[in-house]
Structure 1
Amino acid sequence: MFRHSIRALLVALSTLTAASQAATAMALAVPAEPHTVAPAAQSPRQQTVSDLTTTMKGEAFAHASYGLFGTQADREAHPAVGKLFRATAQTELNEHLKQAAALAGTVGTNEANLRQAINGETYEHQVMYRGFADQARMDGDDEAAKLFTEIAADEGRHRDAYRMALTAVTTGRGSVPAPPKADMVPVPAGMPKVKAARTMANLDTAMHGEALAHAKYMLFAERARQTGNQALARLFEGTAGVELHEHFAGEAALAGHVRMTKDNLRTAIAGEHNEATNQYPGFAKRATAVGDTAAARYFRDTAAAAAKHAAAFQQALDQLH
């Protein structure tokens, strides 16, 4: 259910860069801002960081997906299922993803967070979405090409806003731009509206990237607010809203990501079962082998939580039959 995307590699590289910048600042005796997400007691190995990044991407995707699944359950007059999806979505975002981010050292200073965001938005604006749009046109998926082109333009505006914010944060000149407002895109249950397998794969990659961007920007906003920079917090939160409610939702609508509630429950069960029995135990084994005991414990605990989620979703499905 949760796969790597090109953006995951960029996120991992940006994370490592931010960590290096923070270490340099300490060496120069520059006072560091207090961390919103506490760093791990020991630095995890590179493979563990990669596994934590994969985890964050999967948990962010689950959060975004379960939100849509909950809305669909409400449409079908299954309020208990909608409540279950929304509660699980919040656990994925506010517990599992946040803990993985702490272990990976994803959240840094406001400056480091802005640079990380600029790198991601620049890549999506200049490379990823333009390439996806070109491929969709070649494959005859004109609606997807249009959406990818529009999102590319949005990401360019996000990059420019973050650049202005970075100047304000680092030099004291200028001001942090006002946050963007998301156009809420409804995602009804339905089949995919694209025909090419390549377009579907690109939509999947894009959705995972947008879900992760939303989650990270919310963490960056929390950090900015803790340091007293309310304007920067609002910018991160506003951009996060666009990534989730406009970009992710628009892509989900084209991909036919939301189906009827019984199918959505089956999708959730399969994903949680894979995490509980395959993905997270494998990550825990690798982390243990290289001495990353804190990460190994986190992966084991998250595997157990995923098993409970799968069981809860299965019970909900059984009650609908």
Structure 2
Amino acid sequence: MFRHSMRALLVSLCALTAASQAATAMAVAVPTDHHLAMRTAAPALRARTLADLSTAMKGEAYAFAVYGLFAAEADGQAQAAKGKLVDQPRPAVGELFRATARTELDEHLHEAAALAGVVGTNAANLRQAINGETYEHQVMYRRFAEQARKDGDLEAAKLFTEIAADEGRHREAYRTALTAVTTGRGTIPAPPKADVVSVPAGLPKVRAARTKANLDTALHGEALAHARYTLFAARARQTGNTALARLFEGTAGVELHEHFAGEAVLAGLVGTTKTNLRTAITGERTEATSLYPGFAKRATAVGDPAAARFFRDTAADEAKHASAFQQALNQLR
């Protein structure tokens, strides 16, 4: 579920570019889990390894987003505790969450993306984004909204409907940008601005199990969209297309600070800092002892040694992260 380490970034975006140049063209069909399947896959890797890398990217992106919220909560509790002789989080807890969050995105996700060949040309990246936004606009969020209304979760239905409309606007902006990139006609739209949502600690605001499951799916999708668009923006900047980079960055900001955050409020994703640390510890230990070792074993068995090495290294990182979070929790008791 979560992951991170304190190493410097091992795989640069230049490596992502090199990997993507060897990638195959993306299929047009819209998949069920579009943000994961929208991939310009590196054909040298086996299908099972690519699937495991997709799972890794999804978890790393989600961890980055969640740990950012946990960091903000820790900061707030630390500020409230100033001058009081009570058991409250130290400011260092927020820093720990932020540092591990950056590693999730800048190291682990980037490495997995390089191996999987996620980043393509600007045109290919725009087509990936268009397919994903189309699925969310026309299918996923509309279905989630309808189901939430039937289940009596009207607040969730309203949010899902609003996000569906946003995704439609994102799609149209990306379509316009694709025309500009491929034909040289027209201009790339200005980036959207996020309506930043604050996410305080709190209980879930939805009741139905189906709504909760849909929120979880949506949260993971928005987190991964943010991460992918960040990579696409870096690719655009490498090619000198600053306007396209800004469009990807602005949309990534909406996905994270508005959509993910709004869904996090409804899901009750953030608890007290002690609760958040326990959540992180559980996730890190699972990845360190089960998830990534299993991925490494499979990659080795099918002859994908580079991926197996990535999975083993990441498992070792996660064990260190679990220990760091456990130490922070012990200091708060």
Give the distance between the partners of 1:153 and 1:10, measured in 2 at CA.
18
Residues 196, 52 of structure 1: alpha-carbon distance in 2 compared, 3 angstrom cutoff: same
Give the distance between the partners of 1:177 and 1:76, measured in 2 at CA.
40
Normalised by the length of structure 2, the TM-score is 0.87
Give the distance between the partners of 1:281 and 1:145, measured in 2 at CA.
39
Give the distance between the partners of 1:175 and 1:188, measured in 2 at CA.
39
Give the distance between the partners of 2:32 and 2:260, measured in 1 at CA.
16
Shift of residue 169 of structure 1? Answer: 0.3
* Correspondence for 2:195: 183
CA contact (8 A) 1:8 1:53 kept: no
Shift of residue 217 of structure 1? Answer: 0.3
The correspondence of residues 90-169 of structure 1 with structure 2, limited to 5 A, is 90-169=102-181
Give the distance between the partners of 2:60 and 2:51, measured in 1 at CA.
14
CA RMSD in angstroms comes to 1.3
> Which of 296, 303, 313 is the matching residue for 1:301?
313
Over residues 73-104 of structure 1, what are the superposed CA-to-partner deviations in whole Å (9 max), with x where a residue is unaligned?
01110310000000000000000000000000
* Correspondence for 1:69: 70
CA contact (8 A) 1:66 1:88 kept: yes
CA contact (8 A) 1:218 1:236 kept: yes
* Correspondence for 1:217: 229
* Residue type of the alignment partner of 1:181: K
The correspondence of residues 167-246 of structure 1 with structure 2, limited to 5 A, is 167-246=179-258
Over residues 190-232 of structure 1, what are the superposed CA-to-partner deviations in whole Å (9 max), with x where a residue is unaligned?
0000011110110000000000000000000000000000000
Over residues 101-155 of structure 1, what are the superposed CA-to-partner deviations in whole Å (9 max), with x where a residue is unaligned?
0000000100110000001000000000000000000000000000000000000
Give the distance between the partners of 2:36 and 2:201, measured in 1 at CA.
33
* Correspondence for 2:329: 317
Give the distance between the partners of 1:309 and 1:117, measured in 2 at CA.
32
* Residue type of the alignment partner of 1:11: H
Over residues 276-307 of structure 1, what are the superposed CA-to-partner deviations in whole Å (9 max), with x where a residue is unaligned?
00100000011001100000000000000000
* Residue type of the alignment partner of 2:124: A
Normalised by the length of structure 1, the TM-score is 0.90
Give the distance between the partners of 1:82 and 1:165, measured in 2 at CA.
38
Query: What percent of counterpart residues are identical?
Result: 76
Detail structure 1 runs of 4+ shifted over 2 Å in the superposition: 6-14
Residues 266, 255 of structure 1: alpha-carbon distance in 2 compared, 3 angstrom cutoff: same
* Correspondence for 1:25: none
CA contact (8 A) 2:281 2:326 kept: yes
CA contact (8 A) 1:8 1:57 kept: no
Give the distance between the partners of 1:9 and 1:54, measured in 2 at CA.
11
Unaligned runs of 5+ in 2: 3-29, 79-89
* Correspondence for 1:10: 34
Shift of residue 12 of structure 1? Answer: 4.3
CA contact (8 A) 1:121 1:156 kept: yes
Give the match's secondary structure for 2:38: helix
* Residue type of the alignment partner of 2:69: L
Give the match's secondary structure for 2:191: coil
Unaligned runs of 5+ in 1: 20-39
How many aligned residue pairs are there? Answer: 295
CA contact (8 A) 2:35 2:225 kept: no
Shift of residue 44 of structure 1? Answer: 1.0
CA contact (8 A) 1:7 1:209 kept: no
Residues 133, 256 of structure 1: alpha-carbon distance in 2 compared, 3 angstrom cutoff: same
